[in-house]
Structure 1
Amino acid sequence: MKKLFLIIGAPGSGKTTDAELIAKNCSDKIAHYSTGDLLRAEVASGSEQGKLIESFTSKGNLVPLDIVVSTIIAAIKSTTKEVILIDGYPRSVEQMEALDNELKSQSDVSLVSVIEVNVSESVARDRVLGRARGADDNVEVFNNRMKVYTDPLKEIQEFYVQKNILKKINGERSIQEIVSEMQTFIQSKI
């Protein structure tokens, strides 16, 4: 059975970097997918679905549920690794419920934990605006992305706390400290 770990956090929390490093450190058994990277790859392909995705992401809005869930399930099914880290998901209560329902129908995938990388809004803002990777890294889009992240957060946290699978990690430390704690936690669960 494949073991799934979801990694959530504000824009700029470092969740993608953390997951990339853990997957690199344990490349024999851990695969990592960033929801954002999966969607950006589709946009870069120039497909019709990619154009549709870009019409949402360019404004900092959420991509429609069916597109995101099908993209994630396809990534999980395509890997041969036993442990999968997906960062940047869920970003809404609807996404959370849709994945939960989809996983109930999958006998070969188990959601082991949701890891929340906590950073303050000011740290997140400084990191995102400091890196300015793309057109979506400006104050207006950051504020929208932050609101999109924080609005459903309490309900998402409560859902995973009830399942006893939410793990919070302080994301305002060095990358080494965060990765070490997260990797130790993941290894304790597999």
Structure 2
Amino acid sequence: MVIVFIGPPGSGKGTQAQILKDTKLPNLHLLTVSSLLKEKSSDGSILGDEIKQKMDNGDLIEDTIVISVLKEKVEILKNEQLLIDGYPRSSVQAIALKDIFNEDDINVINFTVSDQELLQRIKKRSQEESRADDSVFEKRLGIYKQSHAEIINSLSQFYEVIDIDANNEISHISQKIVEKLGLN
């Protein structure tokens, strides 16, 4: 089983991924592209330094790099249950899913959430985690909005994209995801 969570920063993808693992799929491997890229960014390589600089600035990493880093990890975890969070971030990456997984049965969950709700969540997160720089979030959200429709269009050529209203309470969102994935 392969599950892909897409949605804007602050939409609750990471929270819902952990809940799904804890409650329904204990063998699920959670792969966040940001974690894979952070891991690569600290390996001391020139590419790693480039990735680190772009991540610190809130810039997107080139598609070829992201695809390569994810594909490398997926090859290690062949035949395992996977949940990918934070991918795809471009239509090129969306189309590459077909090559990375070489299968048709990918469950794509699209988290939809209002800008107002996102702003409240990010402000709360900033206070709780002492995150000082809202400009990185705003930049990431702007980039996400520019490419989201194109990503959804690319994904829907190959997979059913399931919209989940992420404006609701955490438990309600979890329940809807479980229902849509047929895990209840």
TM-score (norm. length: structure 1): 0.82
Structure 2 counterparts to residues 156-171 of structure 1, below 5 A: 156-171=151-166
Identity of aligned residues (%): 27
Residue 159 of structure 2 is aligned to residue 174 of structure 1: no
TM-score (norm. length: structure 2): 0.85
Moved over 6 A (4+): none
Distance 2:181 2:42 in 1: 32
Which piece of structure 1 moves more, 179-188 or 151-160? 179-188
Q: 1:186 corresponds to which letter in structure 2?
A: L
TM-fit CA distance, 1:24? 2.5
Distance 2:137 2:106 in 1: 30
Residue in 1 that maps onto 2:84: 86
Alignment size in residue pairs: 181
Residue in 2 that maps onto 1:72: 70
Instruction: Structure 1: state its 5+ residue gaps.
Output: none
Q: Is the 8 A contact 1:43 1:53 kept in 2?
A: yes
Q: Is the 8 A contact 1:35 1:88 kept in 2?
A: yes
TM-fit CA distance, 1:83? 2.1
TM-fit CA distance, 1:130? 2.4
Q: Deviations over 1:79-120 (max 9, x none)?
A: 2663211011111112222333x23xx54x445221111111
Instruction: Structure 2: state its 5+ residue gaps.
Output: none
Q: Which of 106, 112, 122 matches 2:116?
A: 122
Q: Deviations over 1:59-80 (max 9, x none)?
A: 1111121221122112222226
